Structure 1
Amino acid sequence: MKWQGRRESDNVEDRRGLSGGKVAIGGGVIGIIILLLNIFGGETGQAVGSALEQMQGGQPTQTEAAAPLSKEDKEMGSFVKVTLADTEDIWGKIFAEHGMTYKRPKLVLFRGAVNTACGGASSASGPFYCPADQIVYMDLGFFEELKTKFGAKGGDFAIAYVIAHEIGHHIQTLLGTSEKMRRDQQGKSQAEANKLSVALELQADFYAGVWAHYNQENLDPDDIDEALSAANAVGDDAIQSKMQGRIVPDSFTHGSSEQRMYWFKKGYKTGDIKEGTTFEEI
């Protein structure tokens, strides 16, 4: 993505140079379990914090002192700020066209673990959006695992896609979609509740595609392929096949690889937020 020298958002809080804080869970087996439950964390941050604290027995530990930010770290932070600025500009314009005001969210960069209004979380939970504080939380180390463990292509636009997906959850919070989905889940079987969760996640992928549609002047030729590769890698079927050797569709919470790529592409091709009809089509 063409990002050097462009506007950076002032809504990014970089905590990567901080030490201390509550560690929900590190890596290892439990980290893999959480990764399976919540990749990316999507708009399920509250569940992440609860599950992590239960597994740890609610006992806080302290992180090791963080290393100073390298030149590469600082450059990546700038990229994140430019990407968030693009989402601010594009969604601000789309909301204005529909007679609404866009409330800009904050994005927090962290390493290892972080405290949120949705509870404590670790890197193992993947990037996620917390509706309680309307903040996106990201440990950029996740993207190395996305390549090495799940086979996604490299490239900066995979990161941009994930940011745009999490901002999609913010859009759903502002529009009341998330709250309605949670109400609709009440009294449903686990399989039916999961279908609603899938619809929410696929709509966030669709919104990421809409953002890319309006940001085409800043895209490189390979960017959309990078986004689709990431979407393919984090499909529930791809993750289940790789991590547990079998696929259980009723347990899907984010959608299959095919579904995630389809809805991102639909958003990218149409650029029309009214076409994000995932709840009607799942």
Structure 2
Amino acid sequence: MSFNDDAQLDSGRIRDSRGRGRGGKIAAGGGGIIVVLLAALLGVNPDMLTQLGLGGDPGIEQGANENGPAGITECQTGADANARTDCRILATTQSLDSFWLSYLPQYDVQVRQPGVEVFDGQVSTECGTATSAVGPFYCPADQVAYFDTGFFADLSTNYGSDGGALAEEYVVAHEYGHHIQNTIGTLAASQQGAKGATSGSVRVELQADCFAGMWAAHAANTKDAEGNTFMKPFTEADLRSALSAASAVGDDRIQEAATGRVNPEGWTHGSSAQRQSWFLQGYATGDINQCDTLSARNLDKPGG
């Protein structure tokens, strides 16, 4: 269990559009979803970005419920977050708010909270319509991170994550990391450079992993509006859980599962080892300056 039971949640912080989606989810475990995830899992959907371009005005505030679906009224406390995936997404989001909105001003960077929406089946965004098969993603055009809660079961059942709480929290922190990149201007690098293992896309995804690690390093100090800490200090088992999720979504692992071979020229997110290493880099340093994947000469050795 990651959250303190008495942490207070703002049920309106995220949108809940479940039950409104149309279209079915691609069956988990089949080759089709693996191919889709290879391009889009835990990151910005490349096809969406190609259609609409990067950006979105970082100065536009995205209210959690403006003219949209209601929040999750069942999620009130950290105890709820320990019991339910949707409440865990909410609580993790609030912990991320607490960290990033207090961390970045030291660099004279003001960041607005991203929108967050949970959905099922299908969701309409400013980046286009997406199905659950895409996996979690961040849309820079509307500055919203989207999550189908059923994905987390797939992550454990079909991709080898251990199913622990921090595995889920890592996913949320990674997508929130894309919003930070959108704010500071590094997200645009995903469309730059050669394809493959050293591409801008891989570098951007590994930086989001590093940002997730940064949050994990500071998470036990994040507080709700009443001053209660959101999180308990992470244990070694918690960290293994996050690393299992990072490993599960490495390009090499997904490629091998889908085709029986590994082709670095087709990478978009980085290898399992790289994703783990950059998460640990953020966790060990807690320092955004140590997450400069864009200029790193060797993505296999953070800080090297």
- Tell me the TM-score normalised to structure 1 length: 0.83
Provide the C-alpha distance between the structure 1 equivalents of 2:32 and 2:156, rounded to a whole number of angstroms: 20
Aligned to 1:231: 246
Mapping 1:1-282, distance limit 5 Å:
1-9=2-10, 10-16=12-18, 18-21=19-22, 23=23, 26-27=26-27, 30-40=32-42, 42-44=43-45, 46-47=47-48, 75-182=84-191, 185=192, 189-191=194-196, 195-216=199-220, 218=231, 219-221=233-235, 222-281=237-296, 282=299
**Helix, strand or coil for the counterpart of 1:215?**
helix
Deviations 1:9-33 (A, max 9, x none): 43200112x3354x38633554343
Which runs of 5 or more residues in structure 2 are unaligned? 52-72, 222-230, 300-304
CA contact 1:210–1:270 (8 Å) conserved in 2: yes
Provide the C-alpha distance between the structure 1 equivalents of 2:21 and 2:186, rounded to a whole number of angstroms: 35
**Helix, strand or coil for the counterpart of 2:294?**
helix
Q: Which has the higher helix share?
A: 1
Provide the C-alpha distance between the structure 2 equivalents of 1:107 and 1:237, rounded to a whole number of angstroms: 29
Aligned to 1:62: none
Deviations 1:235-280 (A, max 9, x none): 0001111111000011100000000000000000000101111112
CA contact 1:26–1:112 (8 Å) conserved in 2: no
Deviations 1:169-209 (A, max 9, x none): 00000001112443xx2xx55448x6110000000000000
CA contact 1:165–1:204 (8 Å) conserved in 2: yes
CA contact 1:3–1:79 (8 Å) conserved in 2: no
Q: Which runs of 4+ in 1 moved over 6 A?
A: 69-74
CA contact 2:21–2:119 (8 Å) conserved in 1: no
CA contact 2:214–2:288 (8 Å) conserved in 1: yes
Q: 1:29 to 1:250 in 2, by over 3 A?
A: closer
Provide the C-alpha distance between the structure 1 equivalents of 2:190 and 2:84, rounded to a whole number of angstroms: 37
Which runs of 5 or more residues in structure 1 are unaligned? 51-68
- Tell me the TM-score normalised to structure 2 length: 0.77
RMSD: 2.6
Percent identity between the two aligned chains: 38
Provide the C-alpha distance between the structure 2 equivalents of 1:32 and 1:124, rounded to a whole number of angstroms: 9
Provide the C-alpha distance between the structure 1 equivalents of 2:74 and 2:251, rounded to a whole number of angstroms: 34
Provide the C-alpha distance between the structure 2 equivalents of 1:92 and 1:275, rounded to a whole number of angstroms: 19
